[in-house]
Amino acid sequence: MEGTMVVHRNQDYIIMHDYKNGMVEIRNRNYKFDIRLVSIHELLFSSGQQEGYGQTG
């Protein structure tokens, strides 16, 4: 799951680490010091395109 593009609060992030307990570490695509630990259920997974986001879970 590492390297997957996701959306959190209308910002683009990349999953840096999956802790396998429902929590993931994400880094903002544009600001490398914006790193967050969030629940996987708060994320929208990107299809790799600008549009067409779909939530999983």
Closest CA to 14 of 42, 49, 45: 45
* pLDDT tens for each residue of 3-55: 999 999 999 999 999 999 999 999 999 998 999 999 999 999 876 554 434 44
Locate 18 and state its tokens: 């999956």
According to the model, what pLDDT value does residue 48 have?
58
DSSP code of 22?
S
Closest CA to 24 of 47, 56, 52: 56
Q: What is the pTM of this model?
A: 0.75
Contact 15, 3 (CB under 8 A): yes
According to the model, what pLDDT value does residue 1 have?
84
